[in-house]
Structures are given as C-alpha cells and as structure tokens.
Amino acid sequence: MLVVKNATIVTCNDDHAVIEKGALVARGGRLTFVGRQQDLPPHGGAQIIDARGDIVMPGLINMHAHCGDSLFRGLVEDLPLEPWLQTVWKAEAAILRSRENCALGTRLGIAELLLGGVTCVMDMFWHCETGFEAAREADIRWASGEIFFDMPGMDGHQPEERPDRARAMFDQHDELVGVLPHGTYTVGPENLKLAGDISRRHGGFFCTHAAETAQEQ
C-alpha cells in the first residue's frame, strides 16, 4: 500500500476539484482513496510519501506522437512542414529500416514522455510492433497500429503488405490498436477508405494527418 500525504491534488474530475492538504491511497496499482488528509483511512504499514509543496495529478495524455523521431532531435529543426518532411524522410530511410533502431528511438521517446508526466500516448511510427514491446517494458499506456503509406515505407514494407499487417496488429496486441494512414497527401482515397474499414471492423481507432498546413489544405 502506498500513501501520499500533504499534497495539492488536482483531481481532473467533473467538478475540476483541487484538494489542498490532500491525500491518496493506492493498493495493487489502483487508487482506493483520494480526498482530504483529515479523512484518510487507516494505513498502518504503508509506504508514505510526503508530497508537501508538490502537486499530484493524473498522468498527461499525448494524443499524437512519433516517439522514434527522438533520434533525429537537432538534425532537422526550424523548418516548415513540407521541407522538414523531405529532410527527415531521408534520415528515416537511412536509419529506421532496422527494427532495432526504431525500438531504440521509441524507448528514448517513452522515457522522455514519462519524465514529463505523460502516462498515455498515441504513437504513429514505423515497425509499430516495436512500439508495443517498448511500451510494455516501460509500463506506459499505449495506442498505436500499422501505418498506411502509398509508397514503400521507411520500414521496408510495401503498400500491399499494409492491410494484412494492420489486421494482424489487432490479433497480436491487447493495447489500444488502430489503423494509421500517414496522411491525405501520402495515402489515396481508396486506401484511406480501406484503412477506415479495417479499423471499424476490428473496433479500433483511426488516426491520420490532415490539414496541418496551408499548403496541405
């Protein structure tokens, strides 16, 4: 049992309640009490954390990430989207065909997210199976799936392989799984529709890039 005392608790509940001099109790990885410290239930033998001066809040959610691109920090900076893509894709093609490199970049990205308070992330990246593996290792909530791309991908897979790979992800992983066509400018209408059909059939989510810039619109 873990008990956190003397915290300012930002609950993020429906009332947006903030509890000064708050406390919480966690047992078996689940919260069993959140409230005022004076109402704290008996907790003999618990591990105690004195959070005086600190804020305790739910983990943040990153709704769209490319964790593996952490490998390219400093390489491609301060560019508009279109020239940035043309530059980063060259680096990705040289480095990310390797599952091991993708896994390394994703682990680094996950570590940075956790340090920033993020505990749930939707990630779109090549070799998405390595992301599921890295997320389990780090014990972070993970949502991902196969990328659709109308050209050969940076992971070495061909467009015609994507539908079967996408279906397989739903069978192979228990996390939140979706289908992720890269964008409206890299995936044509037929494959966008196919991606949506696969996602709906398996009860998954659908995520893409659209209308990011004036040029893309």
- The domains located in the chain, with CATH, are 2-56 (2.30.40.10), 60-206 (3.20.20.140)
- The DSSP line for 114-128 is HHTTEEEEEE--SSH
**Three-state secondary-structure class, residue 2:** strand
Query: How far is the C-alpha of 120 from the C-alpha of 63, rounded, in Å?
Result: 8
The pTM (predicted TM-score) of the whole model is 0.87
- How much of the chain exceeds pLDDT 70, in percent? 100
pLDDT mean over 70-80: 88
The token pair at 17 is: 């309640």
User: Could you count the other beta carbons within 10 Å of the beta carbon of residue 193?
Assistant: 12
What's 69's DSSP letter?
Answer: G
pLDDT score, position 29: 86
* Residue 189 pLDDT exceeds 80: yes
pLDDT in tens, 81-116: 888 888 888 888 889 889 999 999 999 999 999 999
For residue range 145-186, list pLDDT tens digits in order: 999 999 999 999 999 999 999 999 999 999 999 999 999 999
| pLDDT over 90 (residue 75) | no
Mean pLDDT throughout 13-38?
95
Helix ranges, the chain (H):
81-95, 99-115, 128-138, 162-172, 189-201
Distance between CA atoms of 12 and 214, rounded to whole angstroms?
35
